[in-house]
Chains A and B, each alone.
Chain A
Amino acid sequence: MCSRWLAVYSLLALAGLPLAQAATRPRYGGVLRVEIRENIESVDPPDSGTGLADLMGAFSITRWEAGLRATYAADNNAPGGRPFVDAVEVRMGRPLRDQSIDLEVGKADVIELGAGESRRGAAGRKIWMSAPVRIVALVFGPRVEDARIREGLALAVDRTAILNVLLQRQGEISGALLPQWISGYAFLFQPAADLGRARTLIAAAPPGARNLSLGVEDGGLRAMADRVALNARDAGLTVTTAPQGNAGDVRLVDAQVASSDPARALAGIAAALGLIVPARMENAEAVYNAERAVLEGFRVVPLFHLPDVYGAGPRVRGAAGISPLGQWKFGNVWLEGDRP
């Protein structure tokens, strides 16, 4: 038990939390209420990926209502020891705004935070932020055959404004699929913004090719899509944002980096974005070449690498609940006081 406490203290120190707060004695019990935007409609709870699947091991599923909620109970025989909380209750399909309200009024303990929310921290709220583990990119469909259109749109997007305003400087601008902290060579794919050249390229394309629909899979990216459409209009493209769920000529998508291993991470991203990469990438050079090959032709235009950000309510104590890769680590989290 003593080693466990030492581990908790060391984690708090890593998260930069005040020792006075961290020095609260851990306690067992309580239900950790977590809210997420995602609707998981599968018949069984997921056993891979980030999020719910990360609970497996320390917790075991006790209740599963697809798309609505899931309840996980603490496993007394967990490899790292029994978690402090008795259970984790996850509500699915909660919009960010509702999550934020629920956290404010005490109906939730852990919520996802949208861009900018981390900078508006309320009193007692803790922020858990991962390394940049999600890539946001434009992926062109097969209908957009003219490379001038694709390159023109890539050059027209004002990434800096989006990062500063919409993303509130969370994350980083990137022209690469893999984040710099994983690959180490992302700086070689410097994104360019050149509205003049974008206009020239697009003007050279046939008029019929200048009308595009932009599909957005994640509602949280809608504002970014609107800005991309506005930038595209300045360059001479008519981009209309398609209703959610409709695949457009070009899609604004985000994909999770599932591994810190460059080859596995690239393969995961490629699979998520529908890109083709070599099955085996032996070394860093092979990964680089594979990524370079994917990015040539502007079929996919990386825009940003973003972190996963969670907010935790004042009852939540203990170490950060997520790993650098954004995986849930609720085993070392406990709840202070009674449930309101």
Chain B
Amino acid sequence: MTFRTRLLLIFTLAVVASVGVVELLVQKATRREFERMDAARSDALVTQFRKEFDRRSQEVVRAVGGIGRSDSALNIAISPDPTSFYGEAGELAAAHSLDLLELVAGDGAIVSSAEWPARFGYREDWLVEHGDWREGQAFLRRAELPDGVTLALAAVSTVTAGDRKLFVVGGQQLDQAFLSSLVLPDGMRALLYRSLQPKFAAEQMLGPGPRSAELRALVEDTLARKRERYRIVGRGADAESFHALPLAGYDGAALGALLIGSSRRGLAELESKQLRYGIEVAAFGILMSVALGAWATARVTRPVERLARSATAVAAGNWDTTVEVTSGDEIGRLALAFNRMTEELMAQRERLVQAERVAAWRELARRLAHELKNPLFPLQITVENMQRARSQYPEQFDEVFREGSQTLLAELGNLKQIVARFSDFAKMPAPEMQPLDFNRLIGETMKLFEAQLARAGIAAREELDPAAPTVMADPEQMTRALRNLILNAIDAMPQGGTLTVRTRRLGPGLRLEVADTGQGLTPEECGRLFTPYYTTKTHGTGLGLAIVQSVVSDHHGRISVAGAPGKGATFQIDLGDRTG
């Protein structure tokens, strides 16, 4: 991945992350604000319900108190035979706008019932058991009706006449009409659950809308704990938050629950819109960030890319490469430093080349002097012997001349051979590539050296990788390189040792190793070993390893040497081209 791509990616990710974080924060803030508003609306509705409840309570208390203070109630209370007042409750209830009214004798027997006239004579023992009914207080109670049980807001008034007593129990049903009196804002609804049966019954949920069954858990929890509860019911746009308030009877038992439901559709739609806007903003931001990022990163990375290209060119050997300096910032200073560096490199290289050239000439002169001195000295001695024999021993001159001539010819042959070797190095031909099985090449070459190795007391080992690939190479030149390496190893082990030749697959190419157990090399020797005419031996031209390096270089390979004094040396040749 390029620097520009990375920069662009980072830029884009930063924009997306920023938009995402902002979106998240906005959504959280919106949700919090919605919850606050929802709670405020619910509180307002609960307050309204309580006010309505109190108002209805006062109405019931007033109505029941009015009946209790009426002459009718007093007549019933003092009547020795209250059975004739069987129908009285119905008329009184209608006159005082009460849904429910029972006139109950002091012993608890119903004298008259408006809601269930047939219940005369039945007992309402809870009235007698409670005993002390304070006027002015309304409470919730379950009231029996012919068609079931209902929940009512009730009050009790006690009429006392001498030793006679009459309970007036009246009230209004908590029903749909009661809920209808609540003014509900849009999106809110009020439900009333009447706990008239031991278990939850969906039909006892009064109020508009569905979900009676889904509210079961909330209702049961509210009734069990007798505390206000809150729960969200449903999902998505259909979700509703419900505040549930327990409604207690005169004895503290939870007889019902008021549920204030608030639709979360608004929140869901708001969140949906926010999400859509967020995605649109993010998409726009991404596009903008990509465009701006591409422009910005191009501006930032263009000098860097020029530097990278220049560095690559320098690495490839174009040491005279320079970078255009377009700014005065860090990149500009870096370009200036690069240019100075390449100029310095060029200068150093020039100096090095010159020094190497001088050193090479010196080495060549030394080597030539050394090589030529060896045959010249016997030539000089032989000529001097022939001159001394002619002047001092003329009778022996012919014999000396014959022997001297032979020596001169032999040494001249040596001189000729030296010249030929130098000539060969100068005339290294271009390789003729063909698929080459190195394992086979190594086997054939090693056979040629078997006798020589045996004489030198060197054990030969071949560790050849059967999976080693065939490589495009010139067999003749490779044989020559391998021979030079083997000869070099033999020379490094005058006291004998082990010569190991290895091959192994190296990716698509091949690695060839020639290792000896000889005297080893110093780091300096390792550095100069492939320099032409350099040798650590007392004989030789110093061209063997230079020829090997030249062959490997011509095959686009790489040669290296590793070793330490006393631990032998290992030559590695890596050849990368693979042919089928």
Residues of A participating in the B interface, judged by any CB pair closer than 8 Å? 116, 119-120, 158, 161, 164-166, 168, 223, 226-227, 229-230
Contacts and interface: CB of A to CB of B under 8 A. Distances in A.
Interface stretch (B3-11, B115-123, B177-185, B327-335): B115-123
14 contacts: A116-B86, A116-B87, A119-B84, A120-B84, A161-B120, A165-B121, A166-B86, A168-B83, A223-B118, A226-B118, A227-B118, A230-B116, A230-B118, A230-B146
Contacts of B122: 230
Contacts of B116: 230
Contacts of A230: 116, 118-119, 122, 146
Given A165-B121, A230-B118, 14 more contacts: A116-B84, A119-B84, A120-B84, A158-B121, A164-B83, A165-B83, A165-B86, A166-B86, A168-B83, A223-B117, A223-B118, A226-B146, A227-B118, A227-B120
Nearest to A226: B118
Interface residues of B, number: 12
Contact of A168 (B84, B117, B119, B121): B84
A127 to B, nearest CB: 15
B117 A226 contact: yes
B121 A161 contact: yes
A164 B523 CA distance: 135
Nearest to B147: A240
Interface string B104-119: 0000000000001111
Contacts of A164: 83
A55 B48 CA distance: 67
Contacts of B146: 226, 229-230
Contacts of A120: 84
Contacts, number: 30
Nearest to A115: B86
Counting from the closest, the 5 A-B pairs by CB-CB distance are: A226-B118, A227-B118, A230-B118, A165-B83, A161-B121
A230 B84 CA distance: 20
B121 to A, nearest CB: 5
Interface in B376-400: none
B86 A229 contact: no
Interface of B: 83-84, 86-87, 116-122, 146
A66 to B, nearest CB: 33
A229 B119 CA distance: 10
Contacts of A166: 86
A164 B119 CA distance: 13
Contacts of A119: 84
Nearest to A163: B83
Nearest to A224: B118
A116 B81 CA distance: 13
A291 to B, nearest CB: 30
Contacts of A168: 83-84
Nearest to B111: A165
Nearest to A234: B122
Contacts of B84: 116, 119-120, 168
A105 to B, nearest CB: 19
A116 B83 CA distance: 10
Best-buried of B118, B121, B122 by chain A (most CB within 10 Å): B118
B514 to A, nearest CB: 108
Contacts of B117: 223, 226
Nearest to A227: B118
A120 B85 CA distance: 11
A119 B120 CA distance: 19
Contacts of B119: 230
A226 B146 CA distance: 9
B576 to A, nearest CB: 97
Contacts of B120: 161, 165, 227
A229 B83 CA distance: 20
Contacts of B87: 116
A54 B121 CA distance: 40
Contacts of B83: 164-165, 168
A229 to B, nearest CB: 7
A166 B113 CA distance: 13
Nearest to A161: B121
A158 B122 CA distance: 11
Contacts of B118: 223, 226-227, 229-230
A227 B84 CA distance: 16
Nearest to B121: A161
A48 to B, nearest CB: 35
A13 B119 CA distance: 42
A198 B120 CA distance: 20
Contacts of A229: 118, 146
A165 B87 CA distance: 9
A33 B121 CA distance: 39
A10 B122 CA distance: 47
Nearest to B119: A230
Contacts of B121: 158, 161, 165
A226 B86 CA distance: 14
Nearest to A120: B84
A96 to B, nearest CB: 12
A165 to B, nearest CB: 5
B205 to A, nearest CB: 25
A263 B26 CA distance: 97
A291 B327 CA distance: 131
A116 B122 CA distance: 20
Contacts of A227: 118, 120
